[in-house]
Structure 1
């Protein structure tokens, strides 16, 4: 031991504890966890700040990645070039961040986890949205700290305008803790924060969920079930089930499962190779070939199936055994005031708003000080404007600038700054026009100071500024939700209805069996005779056939042409825009390959015994066979459907209608005839029966095109509306159709001509309702029933919709006001 040195005895246990805590806190605070305010870890923050300092903005040219890595390493983050470059790469990958913060040019890797090119080859610049995170940083809005060698300053946090922690999420492993926060949709997030502001920070998590439905991942996919999402919103911890988005189609004559989107953070090539191994090991059987047809336009993985394999059963096996279904374990831990904390969705919003208030206060103080300094100078100018000659004489008679400076202070009672500013004035600024500008500037800044002081003193003004800035962000960067939510994946005891607004929706079903639901509000009312709006884009060999108006909480009974019945909740039907094609019905129900759905019945709660025992299902076939069965018989559906009616040879089920048992039945035929008889003339039978004759035909080529059932107590309040194939239609009075016995040939309801075409649809309507017509091309028109004239039975009607020569009507539905 050297002279002057001495040994100090310490407890090894205490030293280990102290050293471990110091190390763990260093990792937690300086590397692994994001700050709740800007949602960034230190390395992400340093990359953005380094690019900002270099002026590599979104409107400028790309710069080599190596240049930014060198800047960040040399000035702020001495932890190795790999850590900085890897961070930059992730910030530029569209499949990693929901809203990428860096715009990359070059090879930045792929969904197959291919490595990016070396930093000397790639180029980057800031994305426009990341500039919103650095706005006002030069206005003393955030605290600065010294870098690692105390030679420069860097921000402790960015003055972000965007709620980055929510929209981009974060993940990291610290010492003894980890964080895994999913990304969310920017539009939904901003709407939730604005609603939170409007409620005076009193919005409950239940109410927040109405705006932020669930996480929204950059790779899309499906969130299967909702319990994990709800737990994560309430507690900051939850297990979210993610599924690939798939559809079934034929490829080279074989049924194939097509994967359009994969779950977040799944390695595509890894998933395919592991699936191949499962096939080789005999754990998955039925796949003939797997092809990766992904390209720059999107992802497409094709599982071509062997013959006679049920694609739905195989798909369930793939979900169970491969990465087509994964889990995202939410663990929302972030730094709050420099300390790690577990946060729920409300905590994150509150902390972000606190940060924004702090930024606005500091920005306002900076701008106020700047205005006060300027108005002080302008007050000096105003003092000398009326004494220009004296000013010039004083300056002229001064020995030097110093002497003039002192004389001006004494003569005009000016401050040092005012005197120096006057001495710096150019002579052209002493003209009468320039003097007027000084007075105008003085009044303008005076008003600005009053406003800035109001911002500092009034909390509600700051909240309005925050809200306005958020709405501007939403307007610039909003996009549609990518991840679909499938609520049906939850346990039976979860009340999905509590999470879904019971709004009116339009259900459309194509000829090829694609189904979707769209909010009714997307379809605006038009006048009679219009051309309609684009409703949906079907495939070239497909067209849209059925249109129903429903509410999300209703039940949908699906009846096939061969007499089977299936069961769905309306909210379980995939949601789509007006122009999307929807999802194949066979992906939702276990439909036989040689069968198709022809009829649909909307009902209320099928678990309510009083309800199901008081209603009947009336079915009609194309050949005029009618059958009546209690709704109770269809209230307990099975996975593979149940028998609804026995179909006779050469016939098929056409339509099904829900009644209360006391209706007047109207059956319409293709050749323009309608029969009316009482429902009581059709006795109720069980599911396994075929029914009785409802209408007879004079023409062998005639078939039934529709049936309506009108309740006895409202029989004279509405009208019978008919629509022909070529877009003609009219209303007729019900009393024009006399009551007859079941099985008759009916009477004329429309004058069939080459101009009108055959009868296509029959509806029971009243003038308060609307009519929706969809063409084969997908164009829809919504018109008011009151715009359609009441005419006699033997007339041809008026034109309801214009049709091109290669187009025709696919379906007709009525819209009524639904009271929730």
Structure 2
């Protein structure tokens, strides 16, 4: 009767998952430190070698090899076996392919290989070195999954495959990324380490310069390589090999002949072409993949007179022409996953090869001793041949003959078996001489084997000679260039941004867009905004210009013009809050465009609670986080305070005078020079002596000949000469420019300067109505005049602003 155990889910899951984790770490995803192979790779190589599917024989169908591996050693899906087999054949993935394949085995473009029924495969010549001496008891063996035959725990791996071909894999809690290396360099390091067991990392790096990727390219960052070889973890930069070639007509082209390891070539070409199509960088006319059987070649043809180096730097930074490679050298060492330094890997391989040589020598010694024992028996038998023949003839059968020889002449059973099996033609004098020569040769071999086993120096000499011979046969030139420093990529903005004119619009509700001149001309009648929205900034700019947008809550939003969403003129564009978080009641009150970020002017900033300051342009230049965060240009005193105006003064000489008017009708005029220059995150100084709940409505730059237009909450319009307002000093109360009434007094909502009597002004109301006013139609009012009623507030709504009417742009 079965016993039912009561276990918690936590215990069951923990125990089951730990077993599963151990299994996939040891039996699936991570390579062995000794032969550098994962179990599926090891089984493929062993099964193909066992079947005689070697480099000196004809190719066989891949399906046959996969079937043998799956049926005898690896009880998993055929696709995973075939994928592992194919990867070992791809000379752009492994430095020294272990499989040779006929047919489509994939490509650098990420194309899948042909189905296994179409392709043919066999072991490569260098793969035979992985399996050499396997039949001589050099490695341990275990039963396969169904206990029908044995398979090797590890291959003899007569060359350091872990470093030469590298490895990549992900298991539970562990991942590995070991880059490929140059076989000759690694063997040189092992030979040096063999003579100098206390060698330092610097000593070993005289030989192993760094990774040697099958795809070549350039590795930058000797410090990253050194850190990786020291700790097993490090980062390097892998850069494509490129050249810039001149063409006719002052044009040029970038030619790429090597790309970083494991970069998909087709995706890389597609990405570069997308940059061309989207005009992310100006100057690329065509992108072509000209790769053929002679090698990789990607050509980027450039337009006339462009900065080819700048474009190449942009592509390095924004495509996989340059990538980071992270070392994570994890392998199974003594049945446990371990992150390994270069020296640990080399020491482990050296110790393993010493063990292989030792086991092979023991095997050869035993075989030689067994044969010598037989030869000695045959020589003795031939010396008493007549007696031996007489004894055999007198025997009943073969077993009786063997027993009689053992009994009468002292032969061993093995010797007797050999004598009984001796063929008659071997009884000549010639054969006796051959046996004596063989005996002498076997004695020499036995002495040699004993010498190797008894003397570690002799064993190391044998190993060194074999490694040297292997290096001589398979050594090839380094493909990857190592550069000590990581290049600092500097991208000229002129490369990124096309030198083209565009129309930029910012709306009252916070929508922003840039459109081509062509799109603007085609649809000037439809600006794409909602009915209640309207433009507050609309200018023809260059794509290389810079836009500063100031909000009434003291926030500055910066955008390079080329980064503003490109939209058709009849489209709305993007809302600024999509990238910058603004409050629902926050408005853009001033927008300015500049040719560069090195202007010398100042911004004049006024708040409704009576503060004012100047802030230098350099104090408001954008930081790195401008795309996500607004910059504070005015520190407001209270949550209810608002910025009412911001003016840009290009030079100190252009300053002149400023005018402030309060809601209650007080006006104050004084010199701009009276306003000190402060930083961005400051409030400023007192601008006007406000009383009670009075607030500043606006600020305007004026001179002695200026004329202002103001509008009140009752719909009254007034035109006033600036001479009516005396110039005084900062922080005064100001003079009254309205006549106070006993009831329902006028309150100023906004004012502006009149540049031209024939330029219309537009008054906007809280009902989203627009009322146009032509200043020429109105005469000047005195200081104590309340102006003329022009707006019916009952039908049109209460005025909220007055400003010169934006007209369509004049574009050639």
* 1:269-418 → structure 2 map (5 Å cutoff): 269-418=266-415
Q: 3-state DSSP class of the match of 1:211?
A: coil
The alignment's C-alpha RMSD in Å is 1.4
Deviation at residue 198 of structure 1 after TM alignment: 1.8
Tell me the distance in 2 between the aligned counterparts of 1:207 and 1:241: 23
Task: Tell me the alpha carbon deviations over residues 487-507 of structure 1, each in whole angstroms, 9 at most, x when there is no partner.
Answer: 232799xxxxxxxxxxxxxxx
For residue 23 of structure 2, what is the aligned residue in structure 1?
26
For residue 14 of structure 2, what is the aligned residue in structure 1?
17
Tell whether the 8 Å contact from 2:32 to 2:38 is kept in structure 1 after alignment: yes
Task: Tell me the alpha carbon deviations over residues 373-402 of structure 1, each in whole angstroms, 9 at most, x when there is no partner.
Answer: 111112212322321121222222223323
Tell whether the 8 Å contact from 1:227 to 1:490 is kept in structure 2 after alignment: no
For residue 90 of structure 1, what is the aligned residue in structure 2?
87
Residue 190 in structure 1 maps to residue 187 in structure 2: yes
* 1:414-493 → structure 2 map (5 Å cutoff): 414-489=411-486
Deviation at residue 358 of structure 1 after TM alignment: 1.1
Tell me the distance in 2 between the aligned counterparts of 1:371 and 1:475: 30
Tell whether the 8 Å contact from 1:244 to 1:262 is kept in structure 2 after alignment: yes
For residue 620 of structure 2, what is the aligned residue in structure 1?
none
Tell me the distance in 1 between the aligned counterparts of 2:200 and 2:459: 22
Task: Tell me the alpha carbon deviations over residues 279-313 of structure 1, each in whole angstroms, 9 at most, x when there is no partner.
Answer: 33332222111111111110111111111112111
* 1:547-696 → structure 2 map (5 Å cutoff): none
For residue 70 of structure 1, what is the aligned residue in structure 2?
67
User: Gaps spanning 5+ residues in structure 2: where?
Assistant: 490-812
Tell me the distance in 2 between the aligned counterparts of 1:116 and 1:385: 63
For residue 598 of structure 1, what is the aligned residue in structure 2?
none
For residue 232 of structure 2, what is the aligned residue in structure 1?
236
Tell whether the 8 Å contact from 1:44 to 1:87 is kept in structure 2 after alignment: yes
Tell me the distance in 1 between the aligned counterparts of 2:487 and 2:460: 38
Tell whether the 8 Å contact from 1:24 to 1:174 is kept in structure 2 after alignment: yes
Deviation at residue 34 of structure 1 after TM alignment: 0.1
Tell me the distance in 2 between the aligned counterparts of 1:475 and 1:11: 61
Tell me the distance in 1 between the aligned counterparts of 2:383 and 2:4: 80
* 1:142-291 → structure 2 map (5 Å cutoff): 142-199=139-196, 201-253=197-249, 254-291=251-288
Tell me the distance in 2 between the aligned counterparts of 1:150 and 1:252: 72
Tell me the distance in 1 between the aligned counterparts of 2:61 and 2:422: 45
Tell me the distance in 2 between the aligned counterparts of 1:114 and 1:446: 59
Q: 3-state DSSP class of the match of 2:158?
A: coil
For residue 109 of structure 1, what is the aligned residue in structure 2?
106
Tell whether the 8 Å contact from 1:64 to 1:119 is kept in structure 2 after alignment: yes
For residue 779 of structure 1, what is the aligned residue in structure 2?
none
Tell me the distance in 2 between the aligned counterparts of 1:252 and 1:117: 43
Task: Tell me the alpha carbon deviations over residues 421-461 of structure 1, each in whole angstroms, 9 at most, x when there is no partner.
Answer: 11111122221111111111111111111111111111111
Task: Tell me the alpha carbon deviations over residues 38-69 of structure 1, each in whole angstroms, 9 at most, x when there is no partner.
Answer: 00000000111111111111011111111111
Change (3 A) 1:491 1:282: closer
* 1:704-723 → structure 2 map (5 Å cutoff): none
Tell whether the 8 Å contact from 1:46 to 1:72 is kept in structure 2 after alignment: yes
Tell whether the 8 Å contact from 2:136 to 2:360 is kept in structure 1 after alignment: yes
Tell whether the 8 Å contact from 1:226 to 1:490 is kept in structure 2 after alignment: no
Tell whether the 8 Å contact from 2:102 to 2:121 is kept in structure 1 after alignment: yes
Tell whether the 8 Å contact from 1:251 to 1:304 is kept in structure 2 after alignment: no
User: Gaps spanning 5+ residues in structure 1: where?
Assistant: 493-820
Deviation at residue 413 of structure 1 after TM alignment: 0.8
Tell whether the 8 Å contact from 1:222 to 1:242 is kept in structure 2 after alignment: yes
Instruction: Please give the TM-score of this superposition, normalised by the length of structure 1.
Output: 0.58
Tell me the distance in 1 between the aligned counterparts of 2:4 and 2:402: 66
Change (3 A) 1:464 1:452: same
For residue 44 of structure 1, what is the aligned residue in structure 2?
41
Tell whether the 8 Å contact from 2:55 to 2:123 is kept in structure 1 after alignment: yes
Q: 3-state DSSP class of the match of 2:485?
A: helix
Tell whether the 8 Å contact from 1:69 to 1:81 is kept in structure 2 after alignment: yes
Tell whether the 8 Å contact from 2:26 to 2:332 is kept in structure 1 after alignment: yes
Q: 3-state DSSP class of the match of 2:109?
A: coil
Tell me the distance in 2 between the aligned counterparts of 1:336 and 1:374: 38
Residue 140 in structure 1 maps to residue 137 in structure 2: yes
For residue 57 of structure 2, what is the aligned residue in structure 1?
60
Deviation at residue 252 of structure 1 after TM alignment: 4.8
Tell me the distance in 1 between the aligned counterparts of 2:112 and 2:399: 66
Tell whether the 8 Å contact from 2:276 to 2:285 is kept in structure 1 after alignment: no
Instruction: Please give the TM-score of this superposition, normalised by the length of structure 2.
Output: 0.59
For residue 672 of structure 2, what is the aligned residue in structure 1?
none
Aligned length: 488
Tell whether the 8 Å contact from 2:235 to 2:324 is kept in structure 1 after alignment: yes
Q: Which runs of 4+ in 1 moved over 6 A?
A: none
Tell whether the 8 Å contact from 1:28 to 1:174 is kept in structure 2 after alignment: yes
Task: Tell me the alpha carbon deviations over residues 151-182 of structure 1, each in whole angstroms, 9 at most, x when there is no partner.
Answer: 12111100110100010000000011100000
Deviation at residue 403 of structure 1 after TM alignment: 2.6
Task: Tell me the alpha carbon deviations over residues 203-248 of structure 1, each in whole angstroms, 9 at most, x when there is no partner.
Answer: 1111000101110000000002222111111111111100000011
Q: 3-state DSSP class of the match of 1:214?
A: coil
Change (3 A) 1:427 1:333: same
Tell whether the 8 Å contact from 1:29 to 1:339 is kept in structure 2 after alignment: yes
Q: 3-state DSSP class of the match of 2:130?
A: coil
Deviation at residue 352 of structure 1 after TM alignment: 0.4
